[in-house]
Amino acid sequence: MEYSSLTNCEGDGGLGGVLLPGGPFLPGESKLGDQVQIAMKMITPGREYGAVLTFTLQLGANGFEPMDIRVDVLH
């Protein structure tokens, strides 16, 4: 299942995060062991840069925490 929780926007250098489905903001049900992939792309006048962050959900002290984190170049 795919959820789009990030939108195209102008960066302001602020702190942010990723909303997982099943919380108060997105419908769905995230569960332990789910593999999550997040693609991020930055477009500049001369070039595009991007990466895909992949991780598995585990239970931590404050809810879900990522484990087995991998970062790959977005082509």
Kindly state whether residue 47 falls inside one of the protein's structural domains: yes
Kindly state whether residue 44 falls inside one of the protein's structural domains: yes
Kindly state whether residue 24 falls inside one of the protein's structural domains: no
pLDDT at 1: 45
Whole-angstrom CA distances from 19 to 3, 57, 75 are 9, 13, 24
Domain interval for residue 60: 35-73
pLDDT at 54: 93
Q: What is the pTM of this model?
A: 0.66
Our count of domains for the chain comes to 1
Kindly state whether residue 48 falls inside one of the protein's structural domains: yes
State pLDDT tens for residues 41-71: 888 889 989 999 999 999 888 788 889 999 9
State pLDDT tens for residues 3-28: 555 555 555 555 567 777 776 667 77
